[in-house]
Structure 1
């Protein structure tokens, strides 16, 4: 509340100059600059953590480019952190720059971060809301209250009209602060702390710091803080009362530094609790105080033209006219973001929200990423990461981008190792993506996006080492010892190979061998095997010795072979479905493992086929597992189609329960395994399924329908349509029992049509030699192509 001792805003010589602002407000920033130029104080006090005072000189560094943020983290628990973001249009940043450029003392006066972080550690958080005026619990949004009093339904629009569209330097530079303080004083008188009891403690600390500055600099002191706090700083209070509020506060040891920030993060709730929806728009208003609408719409037109949309200068002129007309109709002094957005939609986007979404993402919010000088304090791990990023020419960026790596190239291989090591440390700067070009192990695709929180993750990871390599190795060893499941250790071994951690891999392998020897659960073993086998493939392209890994993988496979048949007996439906997944995973792993270990471990593939034959013939094995085993044998060429048809005929005979038969079909042709195409091209199998399905009793049909629906719904639409047409036509000559005679299939191979596809197949497979070679002889065209 305003004091009678001094009018709001005050004049020079009557006390500290209190400049109440809106955090991240460009209008407030311009007003602060004008007020400081007019008052020329010797000291500038700014709302922020006092531990950052030593970092203020870096504001003048040429390499410091906002948006940036002050990062405070607990020394003993780096993950406990807090940010104080500052953009170029933040009043606090403008005040810091002015003080540094004019030789004025600058200091932060908010509650120390040591108390703030300790408060969060003890789980105190925000205090329960207070009541104001008997209206019940209240958490006051000052701008919303003032906007409502002025007849506005949107606080942002009200703020734009009364502050952002007010020209800088016009009239008394202190007048806007006096008016804003008077409004906030009325709100504080009505609502007290507005449900934010912690503010009372913060304001007590700020009053103590202001008194200390006045003792040193007299009355030549300016204070830049949130407008909500100004009445509390103006209020008369004794030193003893303020110190009493601060007595006994919890405290932790903290470190502080500057970190890059982004406009996209500013659009969320920030450390000031004043997240803004349109940082790009606010930045534009700050940079272009004259003719902001014309400049903004020109910028929008440039973006749309860069995206190959037809936008001319005439579109810009018409959009400006429409925005100004909308502002006049709504009684606004200048067009705001809502008017310019509507004008862009109508004139430049032809009413479509699709290009408008691009404008919002790229311009209204924006992907600006700040920069911090190398001289800023940082943990050793952060410095090593910055060195690697610079050496590998892989700068962190706020916008998500895709990075294709060819691991046969030295630089790309080093980038891959860095990204994998960071992922192991919990720093998800890059996330693996599916490669569009190839599935070979020498290529990787990553999606990169640097978030400000990554700086916190790096600080957390600093406890493991001073370099990325040392930290990742130490973290891998610790994770291996603490892993609970065998599959976790195998995944960790895979990560160690991808990240190339030769010091950590022996420890991980010892833990893996010990866990594999003690784990008797076949499901766990089957789950762990694929990751190990994949790791063998990575060793080839990365030049890693995977001999020990191959031995462990082969031993694991042998234990799976022995334990799988008894483990598949007497399973319920859910466990059987899970076991089918294990069967597929082991089958793929054995195919790769057999090639890598043929010399040392014999014919693993042959032993695996014997296991599949055992599973396919045991009545105690669930139908879904038996059907899957038969399908895998058929795909391997170990089972003739006639034999597969015979087994299906036995299962689909009237003596088999419908539910078990449906499960067998699900295992044989279900999922994304190409079972639909198998039915399309083998009319006997389709005829067997059709004949069985039409003969299922009515009382059992409702029980098998969900399983069949799941089986056939996984097929592509074209496969389902073809199957439907074949079934609709029906079998000919009464051959439903054997499936013979379905139309659309010739009894013999059409050699002429098959030969027509051979040249294209040779081209796709790269079998054709350059002109002039022996292979170019027409006499050799089809030699050995087909039996």
Structure 2
């Protein structure tokens, strides 16, 4: 070491800087110690395979939080992360080394062993023998540190033990008091590390590895790397690692003993790169998180060494003002005073996050936790997303995805946001195809959401949120191809071949159209035709038809050739028409409800199919709508069909105008006759009046009278059986509809309420429309629709919506 590095507070030999991972106080102390010591090499806890990635940390386009990602070459889904924030001591040490031209190296257990250990542990959890036939072994397991993996249980928390020894019940508060609140330049720069090292040594004397069984192996590898560095640079070596490991690195062991611990470790080929990370992920203790409760607060402490409380509360006030809360500078002043008073009363050197939070709640939030939750989400945790330069190693699929994200102006962002797409535009259509292709590959960057405005098929709404794990999903999807298009096509073809049910293949066909994968459709269509020919279950066919018809509509709006799909859809419809009536015989209550859902789905699908331009002509396949209506008539009169299905068939025919109201009343009267069991009659009513919001009974008093007369005639012993069915049916109606029905029943059949009620038989409705009042609406409609409103009734639904929007 140079003269500047010698201090009474530390021994001669390597400079061991024991830190708390992701601690801003530790990060500042590391920089101060390195400035004072000026080492010839800096060793950092991390996978040695990432040494070649260290120079990228000097790239201005590499902005933390970031993480080192290691994934198995043969199985990209098997991965491990080493997250680093701007306030992580390891990141500060790497940046210091790059700024001063000093070599920096990682010394932790190689990722090749870490990933192989994961595989072995998962296999042992499944009680599967290793591939080589040997039995499972109880090897050590690495736990703490940035690269800790799932399933690890830390039995001794060093911070908690030291905090308890100091009389603190909160390890975070103890750490803030003794480390984070140390100002820059205080005391000897090496003193805090010497004190923490002595404390850890005393702790490890009584607990050994503290339940961290893998640490023995990790620390053996660290000592070997440290010996190599000392041979090359002498004692001018600085080591930045978790404070828990410092006593082990001080320990005098032989090279032979350390190598013996590393002998026989499992291996797997691994690739490493930098990937973006988020503050929200740092705040998660499980999964790929780091267990930092307040990364936003820690980042503020690291960036703001002077007057951190005042600047923090000013930031909080700005956020609350953006949310239209009245917060003035006087509120900030009072909050600062309250935080300082609370710190003094609690015996703390400076206000911490607890004191500032209490002050914000009392002064700026009027005691409410609702705005305080916003402060915690936006500031204490935050949505900071790191960035990685293009020069970072990446699989070809990742590079193609980044290129498309730039060309489509669709940046990955950590906060969740909704994206509205108009598929008539080239850019939005490209965005839609990209998001659908990624979903097909298992990269869930976006999820479809319900559109708040137009319901036309040219509109799509997506809920986007980029999570760090998606980088693993992209690497994993790289086995399917080097571009998003090629990978999605290969994945679709493979899924079609492996699909086990007809519904899976039809859903895949829909995905192919949404994702713009026409080259994959031939394979999907062959699989679809094969499974449709072999599947005789009407329920499966009924589930498959709606997806195919939706695909036809999507293909129409995207300009995709869907002729093959139209033919298959028509063939499925024909098979459903033939097989549905026999399939409705002998069903129990649950199966009858399921069949009713199939009838509704097929009814909607047939209506869309015959209105689709690419649908088959009537000459080739007959009139599908007429055929379907014939099936419904058959079901309505079929005694072997469940009541809920018969009632539903009658209702659909009535809505289509194929059944007169008098005929519907006659069929209802037959279904509700005294000879019909009450439970069957209630099921018929559920099928007939279920759905539609109950407006049918509001507007047709004759049908309501039939239901009322039947219900009042049900015997008391049968009433308890039908009541649950009726409550399930009528509880789905809007409160206003239920009130109207109740008023109509109270007045009784033919009840009147003024001239309108006398004329129509239904309160509030006249017998005939009033043309004078109707004409008064026309000027407003012309103003809304424009001068060419007359031509809109001839367009499709999508074009009509487009005309209104323009």
TM-score by length of 1: 0.92
CA 1:655/1:768 → structure 2, altered by over 3 Å: closer, same or farther? farther
**In the TM superposition, what are the counterparts of 1:393-412 in structure 2 within 5 Å?**
393-412=409-428
Q: Which residue number corresponds to residue 601 of structure 1? A: 621
Q: In the alignment, is the contact (CA less than 8 A) between 1:128 and 1:195 conserved in 2?
A: no
Given candidates 213, 236, 242, the residue that maps to 2:229 is 213
Q: In the alignment, is the contact (CA less than 8 A) between 1:729 and 1:743 conserved in 2?
A: no
Q: Which residue number corresponds to residue 39 of structure 1? A: 37
Inter-partner Cα distance in structure 2 for 1:758 and 1:740: 24
Given candidates 248, 256, 259, the residue that maps to 2:275 is 259
* Aligned-partner SS, 1:122: helix
Deviates more, 1:170-179 or 1:679-688: 679-688
Q: Which residue number corresponds to residue 218 of structure 2? A: 202
- Unaligned segments of structure 2, at least 5 residues: 1-5, 126-137, 143-152, 753-757, 791-806
Q: Which residue number corresponds to residue 740 of structure 2? A: 722
Given candidates 476, 491, 498, the residue that maps to 2:492 is 476
Q: In the alignment, is the contact (CA less than 8 A) between 1:311 and 1:348 conserved in 2?
A: yes
Q: How many residues align?
A: 752
Q: Which residue number corresponds to residue 768 of structure 2? A: 749
Shift of 1:51: 0.7
Q: In the alignment, is the contact (CA less than 8 A) between 1:539 and 1:545 conserved in 2?
A: yes
Q: In the alignment, is the contact (CA less than 8 A) between 1:13 and 1:219 conserved in 2?
A: no
CA 1:273/1:711 → structure 2, altered by over 3 Å: closer, same or farther? closer
Deviation by residue 1:590-628 (Cα, 9 ceiling, x = unmatched): 001112325243311000000000001001000111111
Deviates more, 1:531-540 or 1:149-158: 149-158
Given candidates 322, 337, 341, the residue that maps to 1:321 is 337
Q: In the alignment, is the contact (CA less than 8 A) between 1:65 and 1:370 conserved in 2?
A: yes
Q: Which residue number corresponds to residue 503 of structure 2? A: 487
Inter-partner Cα distance in structure 1 for 2:533 and 2:470: 38
CA 1:10/1:549 → structure 2, altered by over 3 Å: closer, same or farther? farther
CA 1:271/1:232 → structure 2, altered by over 3 Å: closer, same or farther? farther
Inter-partner Cα distance in structure 2 for 1:640 and 1:96: 82
Inter-partner Cα distance in structure 1 for 2:56 and 2:232: 24
CA 1:649/1:143 → structure 2, altered by over 3 Å: closer, same or farther? same
Q: In the alignment, is the contact (CA less than 8 A) between 1:205 and 1:242 conserved in 2?
A: yes
Q: Which residue number corresponds to residue 52 of structure 1? A: 50
Q: Which residue number corresponds to residue 246 of structure 1? A: 262
Inter-partner Cα distance in structure 1 for 2:174 and 2:204: 20
CA 1:476/1:765 → structure 2, altered by over 3 Å: closer, same or farther? farther
CA RMSD for the aligned pairs?
Answer: 2.3
Deviates more, 1:337-346 or 1:416-425: 337-346
Inter-partner Cα distance in structure 2 for 1:455 and 1:138: 28
Inter-partner Cα distance in structure 2 for 1:627 and 1:770: 39
Instruction: Find out whether 1:649 has 2:665 as its counterpart.
Output: no
Given candidates 695, 700, 719, the residue that maps to 1:701 is 719
Q: Which residue number corresponds to residue 3 of structure 2? A: none
CA 1:531/1:179 → structure 2, altered by over 3 Å: closer, same or farther? same
Q: In the alignment, is the contact (CA less than 8 A) between 2:10 and 2:194 conserved in 1?
A: no
Deviation by residue 1:19-43 (Cα, 9 ceiling, x = unmatched): 0000000000000000001111001
Inter-partner Cα distance in structure 1 for 2:776 and 2:161: 75
Q: In the alignment, is the contact (CA less than 8 A) between 1:687 and 1:740 conserved in 2?
A: no
Shift of 1:113: 0.7
CA 1:767/1:565 → structure 2, altered by over 3 Å: closer, same or farther? farther
Inter-partner Cα distance in structure 2 for 1:231 and 1:754: 91
CA 1:138/1:44 → structure 2, altered by over 3 Å: closer, same or farther? closer
Given candidates 182, 187, 193, the residue that maps to 2:209 is 193
Given candidates 514, 528, 536, the residue that maps to 1:512 is 528
* Aligned-partner SS, 1:269: coil
Inter-partner Cα distance in structure 2 for 1:305 and 1:89: 28
Inter-partner Cα distance in structure 2 for 1:318 and 1:753: 66
Q: In the alignment, is the contact (CA less than 8 A) between 2:683 and 2:725 conserved in 1?
A: yes
Instruction: Find out whether 1:710 has 2:728 as its counterpart.
Output: yes
Q: In the alignment, is the contact (CA less than 8 A) between 2:43 and 2:105 conserved in 1?
A: yes
Given candidates 184, 192, 200, the residue that maps to 1:184 is 200
Q: In the alignment, is the contact (CA less than 8 A) between 1:83 and 1:270 conserved in 2?
A: no
Inter-partner Cα distance in structure 2 for 1:609 and 1:590: 10
Given candidates 635, 638, 647, the residue that maps to 1:615 is 635
Q: In the alignment, is the contact (CA less than 8 A) between 2:141 and 2:215 conserved in 1?
A: no
Given candidates 271, 288, 306, the residue that maps to 2:322 is 306
Shift of 1:725: 2.4
Deviation by residue 1:553-599 (Cα, 9 ceiling, x = unmatched): 10111001011000111111111111111111110000011123252
**In the TM superposition, what are the counterparts of 1:94-243 in structure 2 within 5 Å?**
94-123=92-121, 139-243=155-259
Inter-partner Cα distance in structure 1 for 2:730 and 2:337: 58
